[in-house]
């Protein structure tokens, strides 16, 4: 576990820097004291245990949809329930999966593994090697396991035929990084090889080609980045007939280079701007534009998806085809392919639309996928992009339990396959989409879930959720925890699609970068003010919640707009923006926020650094801070220091730190139910009050 900045190195203006010592005795003693206080304040609530039990029952339910991934003849699923807190990796056939109660074959029992090894492993996924022959079974996998849910993990080779880890197989020690298959005896490895091999962001700087039976340290260097890069990696595209190797150099978010690696080991850079997200599929190169691009004598707008023939492009031709072009109300949410079709997923005013697209003499044409609902969040994925045109479709919204459908592109509408049960009564609830006007006149969409007969008297307890960063879109989804913990209690739930997110593509994100960061907070405040103006709620009854970058949002709403809110839940947050780039993965986010070490950039960063801006004389709303000791992405010191500072200033603050959980805050269902119950109990105590 990383520890940082002992008290002896404390900046003169930061008396709480000792709390950055993640596992230091003094810091953990402080954490235990704060946890005891929050336990008394929140767990002592008469309704807490019942709520926690109900939330755990939802998380442990056997009626959840077991989402699967096809590999060979089997469909694999990772499953958690009350008897398998860390989870089962299991598989079944499609014929079985179609049944209401499929028969599953356990491949790996993580709880049993933890017991046998005396560990606290958390599942991080499996990468299984595609066999050379189309009908051959999958045999070898690389399984990633994390201690307590941290980003750092180990990778171990696993044999599907014996369902055992391979003795003396590929093994990558605990670090941030990974392994990826080249062939059955060769992998790409990018990890911590020792001093000087990780970037300043704490990610791999070197990628190697590693042969079975040789020491990892002696593996052949494929590419070495610089200390200032973010992440170096490599991978093989195993598509039959199009096998190719690529090296990716991520310099920062939205700034990367892609290299094609030849059989001789030489690298050829894909000649496109670093802001373009570059990919390859069969004989095509794809380009997702984050900025306008003039190429081949033509201009293309930011947010477009372009395609070109790979061989032609490498030969110098720049004949681009437009697969998708955005407008003011739409953006690309994703794209993919089956054996014979391409598809795109488009957000139109934050509502998904799925289209089949195909190249033609006059460019790419598109037609809607039949059977897709008009409202809600819709996701599509190919079941096997080489062997069939089959696809899975997920459909969800805030009050409709998620459904999983199966279909075949070109053969009519998808058919129902699995349905999540209703975990709360939504019969009297309605979803509406509305727009608030931000400070600069921008229309900001938001979704509201409320009783159909809501009385607009300003007294409705309302929870406003937001994120607003890294081009992440918040779309409607069935959240049984929100339903049980908030909506079923009579609360109103609102999600704000503020700038910084990706709801309207790159432009929506870029509008709130660096010196324009305050726009995201102005947008969020505009939504709050709109709810108050429409008398949905009032500051006394309006609470807000967010985590990670959304935790930074919560911190800034607290210190910049304290008059608007009655309670704040601030989860795994960034808060000290003067030191964020020196803590764990913080340096990797400077493209989003800026560099505090540059005086000209600190001038605008300090305006959205809650830790520097909190004041003793201001009346702030009550705040609950939550974080995880095992979070090795956003340092727990952010929440610790903000709590300590606000507590000393005698503000109304509560703090809880989970020992496990990583950046997600919880390592298993019990921990997650506990964290959710803390938040909803806190919000109910503060917002369900009489005028």
What confidence score (pLDDT) does residue 369 get? 95
The answer to whether residue 84 sits within a structural domain is yes
What number of other Cβ atoms are within 10 A of residue 28's Cβ? 16
For residue 323, what are the contacts with CB-CB under 8 A and spacing of at least 6? 286, 305, 306, 307, 335, 342, 344, 357, 364
- For 527-545, write each residue's pLDDT tens digit: 999 999 999 999 999 999 9
> Stretch 223-228: mean pLDDT, rounded?
97
- My answer on whether 360 and 438 are in the same domain is no
Structure tokens at 555: 């911190």
Confidence of residue 375 (pLDDT cuts 50, 70, 90): confident
Contact, 233 vs 261, CB < 8 A? no
Q: Are residues 389 and 458 in the same domain?
A: no
Does residue 198 belong to any structural domain of this protein?
Answer: no
Same domain, residue pair 410 and 542? no
Active site residue 663: yes
When pLDDT is cut at 50, 70 and 90, the band that residue 688 belongs to is very high
Q: Is residue 608 part of a domain?
A: yes
* 687 CB burial (10 A radius; 0-12, 13-18, 19+): buried
**Selection from 529, 539, 536 nearest residue 455 by Cα:** 536
Same domain, residue pair 576 and 617: yes
pLDDT band of 631, cuts 50, 70, 90? confident
Average pLDDT, the chain: 95
**Predicted confidence band of residue 690 (pLDDT cuts 50, 70, 90):** confident
Euclidean distance between the first and final Cα of the chain, in Å? Answer: 48
- Angle CA 426–452–375, to nearest 5: 65
Q: What is the pLDDT of residue 225?
A: 97
Name the band, by pLDDT with cuts 50, 70 and 90, for residue 691.
confident
User: Worst-scoring range by mean pLDDT, 369-383, 432-446, 511-525?
Assistant: 369-383
Strands 220-224 and 352-358: unpaired
pLDDT value, residue 5: 40
Percent of the chain with pLDDT over 70: 97
Tokens describing residue 409: 């592109």
| Inter-residue contact 478 to 501 (CB < 8 Å) | no
Residues 312-330, mean pLDDT to the nearest whole number: 96
The distance from CA 249 to its chain's CA centroid, rounded to whole angstroms, is 21
Q: For residues 465 and 580, state if they share a domain.
A: yes
Shared-domain flag, residues 404 and 488: no
What pLDDT is stored for residue 245 in this prediction? 98
Q: Which of 491, 483, 476 is nearest to 432 (CA)?
A: 476
The tokens of 301 are what?
Answer: 């707008």
pLDDT score, position 7 = 36
CATH number at residue 569: 3.40.50.1820
Per residue in 322-346, pLDDT tens?
999 999 999 999 999 999 999 999 9
Q: Do 572 and 670 have their domain in common?
A: yes
- Condensed to tens digits (0 to 9), the pLDDT of residues 229-255 reads 999 999 999 999 999 999 999 999 999
pLDDT-derived band at 53, boundaries 50, 70, 90: very high
- φ/ψ of 539, rounded to 5, equals -50, -35
The pLDDT of residue 632: 87
Would residue 251 count as lying in a domain?
no
pLDDT of residue 664: 73
Calpha distance 55→4 (Å, rounded): 35
Statement to judge: residues 557 and 678 lie in one domain: yes
Is 161 in the active site?
Answer: no
| Same domain assignment for residues 52 and 67 | no
- Banded pLDDT at 554 (limits 50, 70, 90): very high
Residues 457 and 349 in one domain: no
Q: What is the DSSP letter of 42?
A: I
pLDDT of residue 606: 97
pLDDT of residue 12: 65
Q: Could you give phi then psi for residue 688, rounded to 5 degrees?
A: -85, 65
Q: How far apart are CA 506 and CA 302, in angstroms?
A: 7
Taking the CA atoms of 600, 601, 605 and 606 in sequence, report the sign of the dihedral they define. Answer: negative
User: Which of 670-673's residues contact partners 24+ apart within 8 Å by CB, and which partners?
Assistant: 670/56, 670/85, 672/55, 672/59, 673/52, 673/53, 673/55, 673/56, 673/59
Domain that holds residue 637: 30-56+430-687
- 212 inside domain: no
Number of domains in the chain: 3
The mean-pLDDT minimum among 45-54, 371-380, 500-509 falls in 371-380
Residues forming beta bridges with residue 282, ordered by sequence position: none
Contacts of 238-243 with CB under 8 Å at 24 or more apart are 238/129, 238/130, 238/181, 239/281, 239/282, 239/385, 239/386, 240/134, 240/386, 241/282, 242/280, 242/282, 242/283
2 is a domain residue: no
**Are residues 525 and 437 both part of a single domain?**
yes
Set 200, 248, 473, 548: catalytic member:
548
Assess if residue 158 is contained within a domain. Answer: no
If pLDDT is split at 50, 70 and 90, which confidence band does 666 have?
low
User: Is 24 among the domain residues?
Assistant: no
In the predicted structure, residue 8 carries a pLDDT above the cut 60: no
521-535: burial string, b at 16+ Cβ within 10 Å, e else = bbbbbbbbbbbbeee
Confidence check: pLDDT of 428 > 50:
yes
Spatial separation of the C-alpha atoms in residues 154 and 146, rounded to whole Å: 6
In this predicted structure, the answer to whether residue 4 has a pLDDT above a threshold of 60 is no
- The last residue of a domain, from among 377, 400, 420: 420
CA distance 533 to 541: 13
- 552 and 619 fall within a common domain: yes
Distance between CA 83 and CA 39 in Å, rounded? 26
The residues, any chain, with a CB within 8 Å of residue 453's CB and separated by 6 or more, are: 428
Instruction: Look at 102 and 385; give whichever has higher pLDDT.
Output: 102
Is residue 135 scored above 60 in pLDDT?
yes
Judged by DSSP in three states, 140 sits in: strand
């Amino acid at each position: 576990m990383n520890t940082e900045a002992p008290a002896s190195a404390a900046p003169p203006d930061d008396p709480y820097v000792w709390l950055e010592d993640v596992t230091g005795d003094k810091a953990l003693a402080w954490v235990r004291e704060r946890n005891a206080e929050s336990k008394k304040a929140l767990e002592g609530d008469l309704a807490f245990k019942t709520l926690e039990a109900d939330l755990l029952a939802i998380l442990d339910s056997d009626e959840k949809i077991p989402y699967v991934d096809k590999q060979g003849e089997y469909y694999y699923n990772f499953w958690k329930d009350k008897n398998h807190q860390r989870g089962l990796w299991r598989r079944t056939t499609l014929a079985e999966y179609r049944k209401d109660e499929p028969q599953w074959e356990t491949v790996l029992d993580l709880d049993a593994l933890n017991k046998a090894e005396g560990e606290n492993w958390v599942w991080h996924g499996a990468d299984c090697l595609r066999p050379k022959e189309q009908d051959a079974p999958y045999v070898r996998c690389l399984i990633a396991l994390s201690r307590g849910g941290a980003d750092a993990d180990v990778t171990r080779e696993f044999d599907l035929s014996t369902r055992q880890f391979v003795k003396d197989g590929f093994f990558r020690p605990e670090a941030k990084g990974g392994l990826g298959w080249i062939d059955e005896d060769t992998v790409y490895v990018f990890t911590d090889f020792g001093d000087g091999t990780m970037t300043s962001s704490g990610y791999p700087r070197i990628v190697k080609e590693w042969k079975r039976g040789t020491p990892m340290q002696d593996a052949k260097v494929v590419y070495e980045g610089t200390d200032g890069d973010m992440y170096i990696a490599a991978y093989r595209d195993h598509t039959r007939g199009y096998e190719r190797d690529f090296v990716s150099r991520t310099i920062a978010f939205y700034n990367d280079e892609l290299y094609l690696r030849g059989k001789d080991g030489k690298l050829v850079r894909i000649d496109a701007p670093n802001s373009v997200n570059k990919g390859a599929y069969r004989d095509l190169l794809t380009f997702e534009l984050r900025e306008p691009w003039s190429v081949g004598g033509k201009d293309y707008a930011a947010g477009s998806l372009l395609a070109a023939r790979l061989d032609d492009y490498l030969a110098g031709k720049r004949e681009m085809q437009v697969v998708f072009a955005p407008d003011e109300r739409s953006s690309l949410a994703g794209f993919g392919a089956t054996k014979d079709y391409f598809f795109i997923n488009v957000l139109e005013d934050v509502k998904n639309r799925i289209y089949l697209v195909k190249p033609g003499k006059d460019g790419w044409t598109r037609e809607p996928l039949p059977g897709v609902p008009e409202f809600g969040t819709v996701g599509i994925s190919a079941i096997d992009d080489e062997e069939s045109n089959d696809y899975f479709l997920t459909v969800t919204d805030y009050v409709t339990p998620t459904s999983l459908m199966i279909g075949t592109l070109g053969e009519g509408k998808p058919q129902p396959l699995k349905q999540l049960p209703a975990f709360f009564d939504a019969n009297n609830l309605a979803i509406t989409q509305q727009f608030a006007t931000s400070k600069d006149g921008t229309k900001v969409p938001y979704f509201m879930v409320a009783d159909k007969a809501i009385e607009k008297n300003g007294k409705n307890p309302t929870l406003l959720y937001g994120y607003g960063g890294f081009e992440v879109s918040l779309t409607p989804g069935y959240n049984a925890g929100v339903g049980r913990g908030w909506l079923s209690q009579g609360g109103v739930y609102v999600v704000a699609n503020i700038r910084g997110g990706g709801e309207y593509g790159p432009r929506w994100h870029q509008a709130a970068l660096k010196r324009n960061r305050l726009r995201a907070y102005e947008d969020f405040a505009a939504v709050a003010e709109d709810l108050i103006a429409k008398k949905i709620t009032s500051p006394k009854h309006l609470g807000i919640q967010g985590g990670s970058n959304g935790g930074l949002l919560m911190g800034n709403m607290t210190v910049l707009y304290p008059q608007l809110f009655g309670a704040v839940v601030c989860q795994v947050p960034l808060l000290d923006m003067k030191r964020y780039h020196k803590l764990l993965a913080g340096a990797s986010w400077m493209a989003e926020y800026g560099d505090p070490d540059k005086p000209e950039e600190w001038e605008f960063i300090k305006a959205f650094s809650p830790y520097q801006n909190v004041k003793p004389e201001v009346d702030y709303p009550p705040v609950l801070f939550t974080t995880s000791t095992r979070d090795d992405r956003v340092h727990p010191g952010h929440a610790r220091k903000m709590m300590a500072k606000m507590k000393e200033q005698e503000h109304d603050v509560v703090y809880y730190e989970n020992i496990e959980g990583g950046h997600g805050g919880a390592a298993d269902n019990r921990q997650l139910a506990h964290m959710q119950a803390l938040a909803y109990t806190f919000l109910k105590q503060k917002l369900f009050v009489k005028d």
